[in-house]
Chains A and B, each alone.
Chain A
Amino acid sequence: MKQWIARWEAYWFPTTPVVDLALCRIIAVASQLTFFFPSLDEHLNLLRKNPVFIEPQVLIRAIAAVVPRGEFFTPSVFTALYWVTAIAGVATLIGLATRVAAFVFALGTWIFVSHLFSYGDRHHTEAIFCIFLLLLAFSPSGDALSVDAYVRRRRGRPRSAVADTAIWPLKLVHVLLGLSYFSAGMSKLITGGPRWLNGYTLQNHAFQDAVYRGFPVGMWLAQHHHLAILLSVFTIFFEVFFFVSLFVPWTQPLFFMGGLLFHIGLYATGGYDFFQHMVLLVLLLLFVAPPWWRTWLGRYLEVLRPRSRRAAQVHGPS
């Protein structure tokens, strides 16, 4: 048992620089604020045109159980919530009262996404990213590159530059991505069977969405059967075996870069906008991938150079 606990701790709680997590906070929150922030008009439109929810999400049901719909789910409350979430997002970005701000920001974001998905529609793109935003509130993401850290330094009480709780949110994201890709790949193999790899399946999926959304690359792909077979094999291989990167660290850069190419390809062909997954894969590529990769990358990214050596020391050889 002790051996298992030691393995668990070695995996989830290695000592890492807190500046890594701080950079993750800045990249993730800036992305959410600039690219993925909810549209207030869309939510007000839903509230005005729908007297009832069609299929309320669990968070919306929980809120409605405490506060009557007519009092919380109103344009005025949602407008206030929108601005509170935005202000909390800016505070998280600059690291002001980081833990509280990150919690409010994540909660506000969760409410908006849950509300959007309570009218008979839901998508997968936001889920893991939103979980990561919430995890920032429960980790030392504000211990560097933040107003909080600056104030502590000025008061002569700086926190350590390394911590054993500064990598687990990213590692959990890695596990969740592994689960989600595996689930997606296996459902294709179980439901679609080997026929999923016949090329016609991918041609039809790509063509239908490319025509609907007006994506010429997808229309072009739909006319190339052998390429569709190759991409089908790549899709299944990537989705089913992504989890290998959890256990074989040297494969991580390959799977993370493969994932980026996968999502860029999905967007180009059918407009499947998994941008949040792309941000998470970039974070994994920068901060979780093994030291050999970071050392190599550090030669090209000046900002990582001093830390890549330190990381190699704290992670040990992969």
Chain B
Amino acid sequence: MPRNRALISTAIVLVVGLHAVPVLYRSERGTLWPFMQYSMYKGSSPPGPIHAEKRRLIAVTARGAEQEVTPMVLGLSVTVLRSSLRSMAAGDSAAAGYLMHRLNRGRAEPFVELRVESTTYVVSDAGIVRTAAPPIAYHAEPSETR
């Protein structure tokens, strides 16, 4: 086998082989990009209602000014924001404290309240039914607002 073919063959084996690393080395499977494992949407649902939740996060200042918290405002990805929103909707005040701290870092006028607004969508025989849940508010610790 000519030298360049041998080098290319080695590279091919290496590239394919490196895709086994995230499978074998579980603790690092999320940090080996572009060598990834491709288990996506693997969970299954039992027969039952088809439902979805749509949530948004509103930050409020002491003067009552409101701003929707987006990934760009937060400086984190949409996945992290959605995960935090899920926790906050379930009553996790630690997640709220973490986001409040991030949002207020370096802000002249800090936010004093984070409000989670949730809407549930359910598929029914009559179409999609929307139900808005009462908003859940989290207030900043006094040290956050100084």
Contacts and interface: CB of A to CB of B under 8 A. Distances in A.
A138 B44 contact: no
B8 A57 contact: no
B42 interface: yes
A121 B43 contact: no
Nearest to A179: B19
B31 A56 contact: yes
A301 interface: no
Please tell me the size bucket of the interface on A. 35 or more
Contact of A122 (B33, B45, B72): B33
A127 B77 contact: no
Contacts of B77: 116, 119-121
B44 to A, nearest CB: 3
B135 interface: no
Given A57-B32, A119-B77, A195 B46 contact: yes
Interface string A122-155: 1010111011000000100000000000000000
A116 B79 CA distance: 12
A255 interface: no
A207 B123 contact: yes
Contacts, number: 160
Contacts of B105: 49
Nearest to A121: B77
A207 B8 contact: no
Interface stretch (A71-79, A164-172, A257-265): A164-172
A39 to B, nearest CB: 10
Contacts of A212: 52, 54, 82
A197 to B, nearest CB: 9
B52 A208 contact: yes
A113 B33 contact: yes
A198 interface: yes
B88 to A, nearest CB: 16
Given A110-B34, A187-B39, A188-B42, A203 B80 contact: no
B142 interface: no
A109 B48 CA distance: 44
Nearest to B105: A49
Nearest to B127: A223
Contacts of A164: 5
Interface string A172-199: 1001100111011001101111011010
Most B-side CB within 10 Å, residue of A49, A55, A56, A130: A49
A192 B42 contact: yes
A42 interface: yes
A131 B34 contact: yes
Interface string B3-20: 011001101100110010
Given A130-B34, A188-B41, 17 more contacts: A49-B105, A50-B76, A56-B31, A114-B33, A119-B76, A120-B76, A120-B79, A121-B79, A122-B36, A138-B8, A176-B19, A179-B16, A180-B38, A200-B48, A203-B45, A203-B50, A223-B127
17 contacts: A12-B8, A55-B31, A58-B31, A59-B33, A116-B77, A117-B33, A119-B76, A127-B34, A165-B5, A176-B19, A187-B42, A191-B39, A191-B42, A192-B44, A196-B44, A198-B45, A207-B123
Q: Lowest 4 A-B CB distances belong to which pairs?
A: A49-B75, A192-B44, A187-B39, A121-B77
